[in-house]
A and B are shown apart, each in its own frame.
Chain A
Amino acid sequence: MTAPWYRRLADGLSKSRERLGGQLNILLRRGPDLDEEFWADLEDVLIASDMGVTAVTELVGRLRDSAARHALPDAEAVLAHLAEEIAEEFVSHSGTTDLLDDPITLLVVGVNGTGKTTTVGKLAKQAVDSGRRVLLGSADTFRAAALEQLDVWAERAGVPVVRRDRGADPAAVVFDALGEARRLDSELVLIDTAGRLHTSADLMRELQKVKRVAEKESHLPVRIMLVMDATTGQNGLVQAREFDAALGVDSIALTKLDGTAKGGIAVAIARELGIPIARIGFGEGIDDLRPFDPRDFSHALIGDTER
């Protein structure tokens, strides 16, 4: 097939490269009219954020209703309303206190390549900087050099790390780490685990065992953090669902938001599973992991970054 249409698309995209930073802001640059085209564009922008077509259709439908009911005058009013609606999906699920301020043992889990080790490193550094006693456990005994990678972060943060050789039983590492944590009276224990696809029943069982051991050995409450890459598409919802079913996920860290991906899948996850987002990642620097603000996130999601 010669398909000239994808050429056109490619050209269009390269022309739009200048606006990659705060891109897709077609909604704000268009006129204030609430015509059919506006609603279609709005749907596109939301779909492009990876929120998922089901959530988008429902959200836009509801928005059209309230636009009529509350006589929202123009596009700007609708967008402000929309940002509030999206933020509300998160607000209703997030507690008033930050989970990570409490003394806990945190198991950091997720599929391959989402940034688990990096997130653990940054969390460690931030906790140390605020004066807490932190211990790292390296339960990723599968990926080549994962141990070394965590060592580097431990050194940067100046915290002890408990590890065994590559190929060791991750549950055994957790056992060791939590014994050491009791001895050192640690206030935050961060356990890095190997990336695994949620479809691998064996590896998910391994993780359940790790959690059981942690709950038995930890002198602190055990919590689960799922690390998710903001570029993830609809499979992110499946990931969250499966990890939650296997372990009970307490919070999500949404990483790699420094790119052009909007991380809309987090909205779909909040809607279905009600798991709060604890942190968002913006880059490779140690300070590029920040608390999550539902309103900022919602505005960024619809391309309204000026606010």
Chain B
Amino acid sequence: MFQNLSDRLQGIFKNLTGKGRLSEADVDAAMREIRLALLEADVNFQVVKSFVAAVRERAVGAEVTASLTPGQTVVGIVLDEMTSLLGGSNARLTMSSRVPNVIMLVGLQGSGKTTACGKLANLLRKEGRRPLMVACDVYRPAAIDQLEALGRELDIPVYRGQGSDPVHIAAEGVKQAVATMRDVVIVDTAGRLHIDEEMMDEAARIKSAVRPDQVIMVVDAMTGQDAVTAASVFAERVDFDGVLISKLDGDARGGAALSVKSVTGKPIIFASVGEKLDALEPFHPDRMAKRILGMGDVVTLIEKAQETLDEQAVTEAEERLRKGDLTLDDFLGQLRQIKKMGGIASLLQMMPGAGRMKGAVPEVDERQLDRIAAIIQSMTAEERSKPQVINGSRRERIATGAGVTVFDVNQLLKQFAQTRKLVKQFQKQGGGKGRGKFGLPPGMQPPFGM
């Protein structure tokens, strides 16, 4: 359903081969596609209008150079504008020298404040701080229990206070932090609707009671057009300092991030990318821009690879790959790396065009990977490097060893033979010309600046 913006623009500009400058007519056709892409990504329609106008202004008359196609030139401008609009250089949480520092979390119901509170506390502790979490959501049943459970899990203290006045609890929480030598307080507040005057007033009162160094609004990445309404009211009534985008581990394009940044001007500081309590990352405007445009999150992919790959093993495998003599050991090694990087499903999500691939790629059964690993592990060293020696009786032995059927072993060997053939073809075709650092095939290369 979603199509990569570069593919779309490529289509529009395919008749435009000459160099020179982009004409108004060329640009207008491109702007229609950009508008569609942004609306499909949930960027607010008013933000889209202004954004497209700004891009148009820059694109008309832009020079098309020899190295880039007109499509790439326009995508480059779009990415550039969007990245700078999303925050340019990465924003950070601003802490003060005051002890304790106070951080207050606000947001709509269900945006993920309580979980974010736990994640943020965990992150700050990693940076050497001693956080205290304060549970001020006295409305949602068991919200306080939820924060306490997170506190137990993380082994970070939680202040739950007395009574049902969140303003009082918050203030007492800060006193508690002083008394127990905690140097940062994270105040978790109840989810509230921006049009609920009473609740917005309460948030403002909590704020003036604890005078937080930072107020963070938690925004669900799946939010649609209404994100701007909620965020602008929160900005006006509570005046937050930064944004935490939650639930980015799904496949929402996250246009809400752009909308919120545009209308409030507040920086996006954190991205929550998983269910685990360490899944909170600094926000990267450039990656978010690519995600909104459906261009995949290749930087995160490569970073993940760099984090987990064993450099030498990769070099060796690449060397063999270049020669075209892949072994089953390489196969196994790759499986292990994939597992380390969070499984195929999570990798696929970061690929450019993953939206389109969804239907094309059959659902990945991660257990199948374990089965393949078991089969390879049941082989001798000789069998792994020279699979052609594997005869009928060896197949049976391997199957028994791995707890699978001979059919499964045959299938793996067949797949392996095909892969080997493919690799050899690649060699012949491009001499590895289009292959990137980590052997991504040409179609999956990031379009820019990598």
Contacts and interface: CB of A to CB of B under 8 A. Distances in A.
Interface of A: 1, 3, 5-10, 12-14, 17, 20-21, 23, 44, 47-50, 52-53, 111-115, 121, 142-146, 148-149, 151-153, 166, 197-202, 229, 231-236, 238-239, 256, 258-262, 264-265, 284
A166 B85 CA distance: 43
Interface string B41-53: 1101111001001
Contacts of B255: 233
Interface stretch (B95-103, B203-211, B261-269): B261-269
29 contacts: A3-B84, A9-B46, A10-B265, A12-B46, A13-B232, A20-B194, A111-B247, A113-B111, A114-B110, A144-B150, A145-B142, A145-B149, A146-B146, A151-B142, A199-B249, A201-B364, A201-B365, A229-B110, A229-B220, A232-B224, A233-B222, A235-B222, A235-B252, A235-B253, A259-B108, A259-B194, A259-B230, A261-B225, A284-B139
Given A9-B263, A17-B233, A236-B222, A259 B195 contact: yes
Contacts of A114: 110
From B110, B233, B236, residue with most partner A Cβ within 10 Å:
B110
Given A201-B345, A231-B223, A232-B224, A148 B233 contact: no
A169 to B, nearest CB: 17
B302 to A, nearest CB: 21
Given A14-B236, A145-B143, A233-B42, 7 more contacts: A13-B263, A50-B225, A201-B363, A202-B366, A233-B255, A261-B226, A262-B226
Contacts of B263: 6, 9-10, 13
B353 interface: no
A178 B227 CA distance: 40
Interface residues of B, number: 68
A262 B45 CA distance: 14
B71 interface: no
A50 B226 CA distance: 8
Most buried by A among B147, B225, B230, B345: B225
B239 to A, nearest CB: 12
A261 B229 CA distance: 9
B194 A235 contact: no
B345 A199 contact: yes
Contact of B47 (A9, A121, A202): A9
Nearest to A3: B85
B91 interface: no
B223 A233 contact: yes
Given A113-B112, A234-B41, A149 B366 contact: no
Contact of B40 (A8, A20, A234, A265): A234
Given A5-B54, A145-B142, A202-B366, A261 B40 contact: no
Most B CB contacts (10 A, CB to CB) among A231, A238, A258 go to: A231
A199 B263 CA distance: 30
A112 B115 CA distance: 11
A217 B122 CA distance: 41
Contact of B250 (A12, A197, A262): A197
Nearest to B236: A14
A236 B142 CA distance: 27
Interface string B325-366: 000000000000000000001000100000000000001111
A143 B224 CA distance: 25
A145 B40 contact: no
Nearest to B140: A149
Contacts of B349: 199
B194 A260 contact: yes
A7 to B, nearest CB: 8
B39 interface: yes
Contacts of A264: 224
A201 B50 CA distance: 38
A235 B233 contact: no
B375 interface: no
Interface of B: 36, 39-42, 44-47, 50, 53-54, 81, 84-85, 88, 108-112, 139-143, 145-150, 153, 193-195, 220, 222-230, 232-233, 236, 247, 249-253, 255-256, 262-265, 275, 345, 349, 363-366
A50 B149 contact: no
B364 A198 contact: no
Contacts of A8: 50
A144 B232 CA distance: 31
A113 B218 CA distance: 12
Nearest to B195: A20
B226 A231 contact: yes
Given A17-B233, A256-B109, A235 B251 contact: yes
A152 to B, nearest CB: 3
B209 to A, nearest CB: 24
B149 A166 contact: yes
A49 B227 CA distance: 11
Contacts of A265: 224
A17 B265 CA distance: 18
A9 B142 contact: no
B370 to A, nearest CB: 13
Contact of A201 (B54, B139, B141, B366): B366
Given A49-B225, A148-B145, A261-B224, A1 B85 contact: yes
B142 A235 contact: no
B67 to A, nearest CB: 24
B225 A199 contact: no
Contacts of B363: 201
B110 A112 contact: yes
A7 B265 CA distance: 8
A6 B247 contact: no
A256 B110 CA distance: 10
A7 B110 CA distance: 29
A81 B194 CA distance: 32
A233 B142 contact: no
Given A236-B222, A259-B195, A284-B139, A5 B53 contact: yes
A152 B223 contact: no
B149 to A, nearest CB: 3
